[in-house]
Chains A and B, each alone.
Chain A
Amino acid sequence: MERQAVQRAREAFLSGRARAVEFRLQQLHGVKRMITENETEISTALKQDINRSQYDTPLLELIGIETEIKLAIGKLAEWAAPRSVERNLLTISDEVYVQPEPLGVVLIIGAWNYPWALTLLPLVGAIAAGNAAVVKPSELSECSSLLLRALLPRYLDKDLYPVITGGVSETQELLRLRFDHVFFTGSGSVGKIVMEAAARHLTPVTLELGGKSPCYIDKNCDIRVACRRITWGKFVNCGQTCIAPDFILCEPCIQGRVVECLRLTLLEFYGADPKCSPDYGRIINTHHFNRVMGLMEGYTPVIGGQSDASQRYIAPTVLKDVPPHSRLMQEEIFGPLLPIVAVSDMEDAIRFINEREKPLALYIFCSDKKAAKKMIEETSSGGVVVNDVMMHYTLSSLPFGGVGQSGMGRYHGKHTFDQLSHQRGCLIRSLGMENVNLSRYPPQDRRRARRVRMALRAPLIDMSKRTFIWAVTATVIGFGLFVALMVILLIAAGLNCTCWYWRGFYNYW
């Protein structure tokens, strides 16, 4: 069944109809309508899947998708247009440009934690780039994936963008087939399987994985504000966000203050009993509930720790003085547990971060701009935010993606379009000026060779400072000479005019 849907998508792509910019715009409008007309249904599905509050849905998913669609619609003509590039002497009279082209059929494998954003944002880019796309939403967010399967064919071309639901075996079936690009969001272990499968067909992949995103709090910063921002980022979606601050690094002297600020903020956000708050989510399923509870084993939290398996509820939990080798610090938590690990200073924090895999995001809370800059320069991560968390995700002009074990490739805004396009280098020559070419043909001699070397030399324009100064000086002198010439001519003409004027005057008299 999957095979047929993919085959149909390929045939639809080969028909060429996805290529026209008007068609792409039409489809993008379709996605926009689908989101705006079904907001209630989408919220309901998310509530059933993950107990997402009715405000979190637009906040975390729908606003982002709408913004991306509006951007793509507004900029598509510009993105899809050819881009001219600089030429060398040989190609000086040719047309040289880069033309973005569709790849073909893209496979998009979504994740369960933000089932709409993480599936539709890549889809928007795939459509904008002129591709067909096979969408495989995560089976763990079952209601959302069934709803997407029902809705998408109503608003978009049925053949070009099939939705395929199912579990592990359906995904494995899909991965046996050949695609022109695979866009995967999920865990590193599944990412490896996806890349392995893609390798068989030499298919390029974009992998948006995760990791443990560290959050460093400097002792000389506004801890109250820092903790508010961190609390928001950590506990939204019940900690199940790939860029959530995974753990805190701070000096022991401020640990107490940090805990207090977190406690105050949690009270402010979710009340005395978060279980009763409509704004606090749940763990996606029992397997993950048990996994997260298992991470806490043997540690006594300073905040929270309560749970209710029947609801898959885990209270917002903070643990302090967590040892670096504990289970909590080995894998991505992806839940509402916030460990605090003590470091002696910023240098120690940098060392701690660099000893581990490159994370998807790094957060630095610090009032000293220079120190923050140093930390950025001495570490690596997918993205970095100073004095806040997660907000880089909301700016579509910033590339969103990982590095090392946190992933490869990037998207959002134009980056998705570029990621899912082929940048085709085009050189349009004419058959004229054949004499110029004669030097490169055999039989060869030194003189001809020298001519060809000149013609192929790059850069055409020498960008060095010396040449720049020379060019500016020459222009100024040239302009000065031109002005002088004009003045001379005007004076001469003026004299002439005056001559005639006086003569006329004389005649008149």
Chain B
Amino acid sequence: MNVNDKRCFFPGERMETHSQILDRLRSAFRSGITVPEVFRQAQLKQLMSLMTENEDQILDALKKDLSKPKFESIIAEVDMVINELHFTIANLNSWMQPEYVSKNLATKLDDCFVRREPLGVVLIIGPWNYPLQLLLSPLIAAIGAGNCAILKPSEVSAATDALVAELIPKYMSQDCYAVVRGAAEETKALLKNRFDHIFYTGSQAVARHILHAAADHLTPVTLELGGKCPCLIYGKVNITYAARRLAWSKFFNTGQSCVAPDFLVCSKATRDALLPALRQTLEDFYSKEPESSADLPRIVSPRHWTRLMELLKRSKGKVVMGGESNEENKYIAPTVLVDVAEDDALMEEEIFGPFLPILTAETLEEAIALINRQEKPLALYVFSEESSVVNTVLEKSSSGGFCSNDGIIHMALPTLPFGGVGASGFGSYHGRWGFETLSHQRAVMLRGWTLERLNGLRYPPYTEDKLSWLRWTTSAKPSCSLM
């Protein structure tokens, strides 16, 4: 029993401490109820009903939190969760099957396979930028893998936080899945408890605290962090199309995406050709008055708005597009800056807002050297019609994911692993990757009672003869034709 439970209770919430919730979920897990496929599928279908029956409420909450336009809410939140559900429901049975492995001579007559087993109680901590999708996609993986889960939505996206807390207990098994609300203090207290896996999406600073807390209990962790995702434009390229895709990925959710292209690197000539194309694109997308466009979201909170405006003030770059803002409705115009140096304020941390700094490097090699001086990002983008340019960047850089000639869209494929490397995190999910991350791969070997004479080779007293035989039977024979 954790006496350090710090809880503040929200209206309608069950009056339980963190430890009590954990105990309840753990007993449910121990009873084995989450293991059969039937249960997992039923819960996934319940989650599907949650999504389809409450679309209006979801869109409302996202509008309240981020002024998210309906299109973005549908594409990047609702549909992504529904797609993930479809994919998991359709494939769960095959993922759950035991995986028979190749054997050596000593184990030829044995049953050797890998069982995917649930871990136990998984803690899922969500962020505020895609508050539904980045909380529920890991939940889908957790349910599919047969775990119980505690969801901790971000308090910054308050409307979604409240909605999740209301809907999850209504649709999902209350014994197996719980929602815990609260801010930093409550999360710290929650982390003192022991979990079987912690799945965190958010910032590096908080990730360190989480890892420290997890180390105390030897709890495995998945960290989906961010970073400055660079975008390079080199070689022959259709500048209009590149400008469109770049602008779309950058200003989607007004730049508040972990995989948004953070900054651009190109030659001076490319920059000069790009700027008019970008200007035209922004006008096409958001009209001459972006503040009045229904398709541009807002910054999530006054605190983040202030952070961004401070960054802009400290930057030594020149604003060539946008720059307008309105504190009252947390609006910042899509802004492009040039003459940004590598040590500029905008290059200190992940921007997570609608500022696109353009840095110049005359050659591809210089650009690659520049991005390699930064930490490994969550995503890396290259716009070029020359495959040699794309391949060079691929080979000489590292990043969580990679996409050429577009942005963000690689996230929507459930067959690609979504995760970071280095400072952008570790572990991955989406589709089967999430199932594997939240499962334990248990090696199983079923031997018989016969062939004890063969076993005799390994027993003392040892002899040279026994050794040679053993060497032969345990070596891997990848192309053994006899057996």
Contacts and interface: CB of A to CB of B under 8 A. Distances in A.
Interface stretch (A23-31, A289-297, A325-333, A425-433): A425-433
Contact of A279 (B70, B225, B462): B462
A442 to B, nearest CB: 4
A354 B417 contact: no
B416 A209 contact: no
Given A53-B462, A202-B204, A463-B90, A424 B421 contact: yes
Interface in B422-452: 422-423, 425-428, 433, 440-449, 452
A418 to B, nearest CB: 10
Interface string B390-412: 10001010111111111001101
Interface string B272-308: 0000000000001111000001111000000000000
Nearest to B416: A425
A199 interface: yes
A279 B462 CA distance: 7
A380 B400 contact: no
B79 A456 contact: yes
B281 to A, nearest CB: 8
B478 A74 contact: yes
Contact of A431 (B383, B417, B462): B383
B42 interface: no
Contacts of A270: 460-461
Given A199-B208, A424-B401, A428-B404, A395 B440 contact: no
B270 to A, nearest CB: 14
A399 B114 contact: yes
B115 interface: yes
Interface in A14-56: 16, 53-56
A456 B75 CA distance: 8
B214 A195 contact: yes
Given A63-B474, A383-B443, A437-B244, A405 B413 contact: no
A460 to B, nearest CB: 9
A192 interface: yes
A192 B212 CA distance: 9
Contacts of B287: 443
Interface residues of A, number: 113
A99 B421 CA distance: 13
Contacts of A188: 218
B119 A85 contact: no
B163 interface: no
Contact of B107 (A86, A87, A391, A407): A391
Contacts of A382: 442-443
B394 A426 contact: yes
Interface residues of B, number: 114
Overall SS of chain B's interface:
mixed
Interface in A206-265: 207, 209, 221-222, 225, 228-229, 232
Contacts of A399: 114, 441, 443
B426 to A, nearest CB: 4
A56 B462 contact: yes
A453 B475 CA distance: 52
A30 to B, nearest CB: 20
Given A381-B442, A391-B445, A277 B461 contact: yes
A378 interface: yes
A8 to B, nearest CB: 18
A431 B242 contact: yes
A372 B444 CA distance: 11
Nearest to A391: B445
B350 interface: no
A451 B452 CA distance: 65
Contacts of A71: 476, 478
B343 to A, nearest CB: 21
A104 B248 CA distance: 33
A400 B458 contact: no
A75 B211 contact: no
Interface string A161-198: 00000000000000000001000000010011001101
A395 B414 CA distance: 32
A503 interface: no
Contacts of A405: 218
A434 interface: yes
Given A101-B398, A387-B449, A456-B83, A440 B385 contact: no
A424 B400 contact: yes
B215 A398 contact: no
Interface string A438-476: 001111100001001100111100111000000000000
A441 B69 CA distance: 12
B442 A403 contact: yes
A367 interface: yes
A420 B238 CA distance: 38
Interface stretch (B54-62, B97-105, B135-143, B320-328): B97-105
Contacts of A444: 69-71, 295
A429 B399 CA distance: 17
A86 B459 contact: no
A280 B478 CA distance: 34
B440 A376 contact: no
A193 to B, nearest CB: 8
Contacts of A74: 478
Most chain B Cβ neighbours within 10 Å, of A188, A271, A442, A453: A442
Contact of B447 (A383, A388, A443): A388
B475 A67 contact: yes
A312 B248 CA distance: 71
Interface in B357-416: 383, 385, 390, 394, 396, 398-406, 409-410, 412-416
B449 A431 contact: no
B174 interface: no
Contacts of B425: 202
Interface in A370-387: 372, 376-378, 380-387
B394 to A, nearest CB: 7
A156 interface: no
Interface of A: 16, 53-56, 58-59, 63-64, 66-67, 70-71, 74-75, 85-88, 90-91, 96, 98-99, 101, 103-104, 180, 188, 191-192, 195-196, 198-200, 202, 204, 207, 209, 221-222, 225, 228-229, 232, 268-271, 277, 279-280, 354, 367, 369, 372, 376-378, 380-388, 391-392, 394-401, 403-405, 407-410, 422-431, 434, 437, 440-444, 449, 452-453, 456-459, 462-464
24 contacts: A54-B462, A188-B218, A202-B426, A225-B452, A279-B461, A279-B462, A384-B444, A391-B447, A395-B104, A397-B101, A397-B112, A403-B117, A407-B218, A425-B400, A426-B394, A427-B402, A427-B404, A434-B244, A442-B71, A452-B75, A456-B412, A457-B79, A458-B83, A464-B90
Interface of B: 30, 32, 35, 69-71, 74-75, 79, 83-84, 86-87, 90-91, 101-104, 106-107, 112, 114-115, 117, 119-120, 196, 204, 207-208, 211-212, 214-216, 218, 220, 223, 225, 237-238, 241-242, 244-245, 248, 284-287, 293-296, 383, 385, 390, 394, 396, 398-406, 409-410, 412-419, 421-423, 425-428, 433, 440-449, 452, 455, 458-464, 466-467, 470-471, 474-476, 478
Q: Closest 7 A-B residue pairs measured CB to CB?
A: A55-B462, A199-B211, A442-B295, A425-B416, A397-B101, A195-B215, A279-B460
Given A408-B218, A456-B83, 19 more contacts: A58-B471, A67-B104, A75-B478, A192-B215, A195-B214, A196-B215, A229-B455, A381-B442, A386-B447, A388-B455, A399-B114, A403-B442, A405-B218, A425-B401, A442-B69, A442-B296, A443-B287, A457-B79, A458-B86
